[in-house]
Structure 1
Amino acid sequence: MPDSSSKPLSQATWLSIGLLSLIFFGAYFVLRALPAAQCGFLHYEEIVNADGEIELCATNHAGFIDLTRFSYPIVAEVKSDEPLVPGVKSTIDLSLETAGGTGIAPHELAVTHTKKMHVMVIDPSLEDYHHVHPSADGLSGSYQFDFTPTRTGKYRVFTEIVPLRSRSQAIALSEIEVPGAAHRPEFVRSTESLVDGVRFELLGAPERLKTGRDYRFELKIADIEGGSIALETVMGAKGHMVAFDGEGRGFAHMHPMDSVASARTAGFGGTEAAGTELAFLFNVPNAGWYRLFAQIQVQGEPVFGRFDLKVE
């Protein structure tokens, strides 16, 4: 017999159930539409820099951003008024817009690792790498940066921002051409690099690297004789790394594993003779060759070490 104590659900209850169902279904499809690659959306932690300003700092970013698998809802276009020439400095105009065509003004961008915008520029041979921070030209979404290429071919330009509204990483890929023949990259496994009197050594990279695994790399810095070097703070840390793949699918912008902690104590922008080792996480989804650039700053000048790794 039916339970006489049971009562039919009220209309308000049915409406509540229907509303919750719609919310869950909506959330499901929104999540399905988000980028699916590793670290497509980074975890950021709020910190206070030396000027008392709140900024966002990415923590333990190991993921490679494969831009052939998804795209972000921003568009960046780069151009120069004059043809680019190797060895000649030119001014590059960068326009930054939403996918709907609305310009993204500087006040709409969060500060991440002391900058509102990080732009990585690399030539087809993966020999000429630049990390720049464009300056805003008004509030229309126009920016500019100086660029002195050393090679020819179509350079890939990765524009990395964090809009204040989303507080999530967004990447735009564009190209700018230096007239002349483009060259394919040539790889030879290497974990040591000597540049401008600075010796870079990458520790923790096994001979056989696998896709989809986190690897912890130690970056050791020394002078030619093996002595210590006073590393200056650059972008809130003692060093940064960027990795590009040989097939041109994307890149990884890796921050030191202790960058948040060191930012709180280093005060951003000071010159300190701190430790000579930095730790980074490395994880890529695709097999193939990768070129890694390690960026440090010594006596006010950037120095870039270079490594080649093959992933199976």
Structure 2
Amino acid sequence: MAAETGSRAGKPHPVAGDWQDRQDRQENPAPRRGAEAPPRGGDRRRREWRQVAWITAGAIALYFVARWLPTGTNLSHADFAAGSRPGEGGVSALDLCDPANPQFLPVMAVRSPVSTTLRSDGPAVAGKESRFVLSLTTASGKPIGPDDLFLVHTQKLHLMIVDPTLEDYRHLHPEPGEREGEWVFRMTPQRGGDYRLFADFMPVATGRGLYAMAEFAVAAGGSGDADGKGEAGGESASLFRSGRLAEKARGTGATVAVRDGYRFELSASAQPVRAGQQAELAFAVTREGGGTVPLEPVMDAYAHLVAFDEARSGFAHLHPQEADLSKKPDAEHPRLTFAVTIPQAGRYVVWAQLDLAGVETFVPFPLEVAP
């Protein structure tokens, strides 16, 4: 017993400091000769912070490089800023653009930040083709060319052109001219009178739709042509009185036009359509004898609607809510819906544009808007 006790006594009893040293050596063994010592806690944190700093600096550099890359346009958002005319309460053409709320645009009542000039190679005469050159410039005089505009519905510039009677309507897409800011188109007007042109486009600098207006005179071309003098609803033969508009269908509230073996119908979800309230219009096509309607896309949509008021003070360019071209409408009873808000009561003409087996078709409908 004494020997055992002596043996234990021969081994020094570990103290707290020795035990801590052994723990440290086990957790942090001494590096082998030639091996790199592991970083201490402070060094590791500094290295991590340096990595974060480099990553952040790289991200900031990439951001500014992307901002400085050329976009193809030399115009900025400021080039499309324009104040309103006196008494208009600060409304400008740029303020009208709300894709979530399609509406009738009173282009004549606001100041557009885009200036237009229009010239033709010679006097325009009804029944004869004329070549026109439309020039678009910013308020400061900078030309607006193809690089300055986004592609919208397959085109960079849409022109809605209508005569005083609202009977001769065209939707054209001009080509860039020889000079920057010039756009060229050809047209054979059908009637005499002062035609009005509404331009619809989206600058790269703003990313929002803008509108501009121009006018040109057309001389009467023959006995079959109306003189077209004055505004629609005045002395000229208005489309409302011509008998060529679609007619109301009994008991349905819809307007119907029948031509070339097709039945075209335009109706509103609520009657009457009221000024200042969003309305839903439905456009439908069927074959008179039944069968498949060969409806094809036109400008990335299965139909377009464009509305004018009698005074041609503006327009509404509408696209169907069924925007997915991969989902084709019903083959025999295609039906498309359009949302629109019209601010003023009155009489309007809605032109439907569609493609039937490769044939571009235009059909006018009357639309009464109640107060």
Q: Is the 8 A contact 2:286 2:332 kept in 1?
A: no
Task: Determine the structure 2 residue equivalent to 1:79.
Answer: 119
In the alignment, the residues of structure 1 paired with residue 237 and residue 351 of structure 2 have an alpha-carbon distance, to the nearest angstrom, of: 17
Report the Cα distance in structure 2 between the residues aligned to 1:139 and 1:36, rounded to whole angstroms: 26
User: Structure 2: which 5+ residue stretches go unaligned?
Assistant: 1-82, 221-226, 229-235, 242-246, 249-254
Deviation at 1:33, TM superposition (A): 4.1
Identical residues among aligned pairs (%): 33
Query: How far 1:100 moved relative to its partner?
Result: 1.7
Shift of 1:291: 0.2
- Specify which of 221, 229, 240 is matched with residue 187 of structure 1: 240
**Residue 35 of structure 1: how far off its partner (Å):** 2.9
Q: 1:174 to 1:299 in 2, by over 3 A?
A: same
Pick from 253, 257, 260: which aligns with 2:321?
257
- 1:114-167 deviation per Cα after TM superposition (whole angstroms, max 9, x unaligned): 110100000000000000000001451111111011111001000111000001
CA contact (8 A) 1:96 1:141 kept: yes
Matching residue of 2:138:
98
Structure 1 residues 93 and 184: alpha-carbon distance in aligned structure 2, compared to 1, 3 A threshold: same
Describe the shift of the 1:84–1:69 C-alpha distance in structure 2 as closer, same or farther (beyond 3 A): closer
Report if aligned partners of 2:270, 2:279 keep a CA contact under 8 Å in 1. Answer: no
Following the alignment from structure 2 to structure 1, what is the Cα–Cα distance between the partners of residues 298 and 307?
A: 18
Contact 2:127-2:188 within 8 A present in 1 as well = yes
Matches within 5 A, 1:120-159: 120-138=160-178, 140-159=180-199
In the alignment, is residue 293 of structure 1 matched against residue 351 of structure 2?
yes
User: What does residue 273 of structure 2 align with?
Assistant: 209
- Evaluate the alpha carbon distance shift between residue 276 and residue 124 of structure 1 in structure 2; reply closer, same or farther with a 3 A threshold: same
Determine whether 1:242 maps to 2:306: yes
Larger Rg: 2
Between 103-112 and 173-182, the greater mean CA deviation after superposition: 173-182
Q: Match of 1:287, as an amino acid? A: A
Residue 224 of structure 1 is matched in structure 2 by 288
CA contact under 8 A between 2:167 and 2:239: conserved in structure 1? Answer: no
Q: Relative contact order (C-alpha < 8 Å, sep 6+): which is higher? A: 1
Q: Which amino acid letter does the alignment assign opposite residue 227 of structure 1?
A: G
Post-superposition shift, 1:208?
Answer: 2.7
Closer/same/farther in 2, CA of residues 192 and 275 from structure 1, 3 Å limit: closer
**Equivalent in 102, 105, 110 of residue 65 of structure 1:** 105
The answer on 1:282 being equivalent to 2:346 is no
Separation in 1 of the partners of 2:260 and 2:299? 21
Displacement after TM superposition at 1:34 (Å): 4.8
Contact 1:86 1:150 in 2 (8 A): yes
Measured in 1, the distance between the counterparts of 2:262 and 2:309 equals 25
Residue 128 (structure 2) aligns with = 88
Contact 1:61 1:255 in 2 (8 A): no
CA RMSD of aligned residues (A): 2.6
Is the helix fraction higher in 1 or 2? Answer: 2
* CA–CA distance in structure 2, aligned partners of residues 88 and 75 of structure 1: 28
Residue 217 of structure 1, CA deviation: 1.2
**TM-score, structure 2 as length reference:** 0.65
Q: Quick check: 1:242–1:293 contact (8 Å CA) kept in 2?
A: yes
Cα separation, 2, equivalents of 1:165 and 1:173: 20
Residue 195 of structure 1 contacts residue 304 of structure 1 at CA under 8 Å; is this kept in 2?
A: no
After superposing the two structures, state which structure 1 stretch, 248-257 or 187-196, moved more.
Answer: 187-196
Length, aligned pairs only: 260
Which amino acid counterpart does residue 142 of structure 2 have in structure 1? T
Conservation of the 8 A alpha-carbon contact between 2:305 and 2:353: yes
Kept after mapping to 1: 8 A contact 2:93/2:112:
no
Q: Normalized against structure 1, the TM-score is what? A: 0.76
Q: Distance in 2 between matches of 1:286 and 1:173?
A: 20
